[in-house]
Structure 1
Amino acid sequence: MSYASARDIFPEDILEIIQQYIEGEYIYIPKKEENKKPWGELTKSKLELQARNKRIYEGYLSGLSTTSLAERYYLSPKSIQRIIYQKKNE
């Protein structure tokens, strides 16, 4: 996310209206709903987490304990249990 000067973006009359509500501060203008992308769509994060969770579940099925999986993947035992539960129900 980058910042831009409102003076460079808005016409003077709109800038004056905005200044009635806020001036000299940073504001975030969210994207329109139809322009939003689902989480992980722009990076490989979603695919990497899915692959990791698959490996965790396979480790569980092969007999590894939730504690050892938690240590191996640097997650809490509760997180490992949640991943196993989700994978069982897929």
Structure 2
Amino acid sequence: MNYKNGRDVLPPSLLTELQKYIQGDLIYIPKPSNQRIGWGEASGTRKLLAERNAEIYSFYTNGWTVSDLERKYHLSGESIRKIIVKAR
């Protein structure tokens, strides 16, 4: 996270108003809630995991055992079972 000096990014009137409440400390200003995106959506991780999980379920329905899937995906048996149950 990059920090910016309030003098560089805020209008003087707003800076003066903020200084009434906080001075010399760091303050975090969040993005508006309508701009917030879910975990993994920006990087594509969520999509990749969804595709992997669909593939795991497909292999399972085609006869692969949980042990086979553990070795292929390097996941625990419990994780494989959770993915299968969720995909049903």
TM-score of the superposition, structure 1-length normalised? 0.67
Q: Where do 5+ consecutive residues of structure 2 fail to align?
A: none
User: Where does residue 8 of structure 1 map in the other structure?
Assistant: 8
Maintained 8 Å contact 2:41/2:47:
no
Between 1:65-74 and 1:45-54, the stretch displaced more is 65-74
Q: Distance in 2 between matches of 1:64 and 1:28?
A: 49
CA distance in 2, matches of 1:55, 1:42: 22
Q: Show the counterpart of 2:24.
A: 23
Structure 2 CA distance, aligned partners of 1:73 and 1:29?
40
Take 1:22 and 1:63, find their aligned partners in 2: how far apart are those partners? 65
Q: Which residue in the other structure is 2:66 paired with?
A: 66
In the alignment of these two chains, the number of paired residues is 87
Query: Which residue type is aligned with residue 61 of structure 2?
Result: L
Gaps of 5+ in 1: none
1:22 CA displacement: 5.8
Q: 1:7 to 1:78 in 2, by over 3 A?
A: farther
Two-structure CA RMSD over aligned residues (Å): 2.5
| 1:81 counterpart = 2:76 | no
- Report the equivalent of 2:47: 47
Identity of aligned pairs, percent? 34
- Change in 2 beyond 3 A, CA 1:85/1:16: same
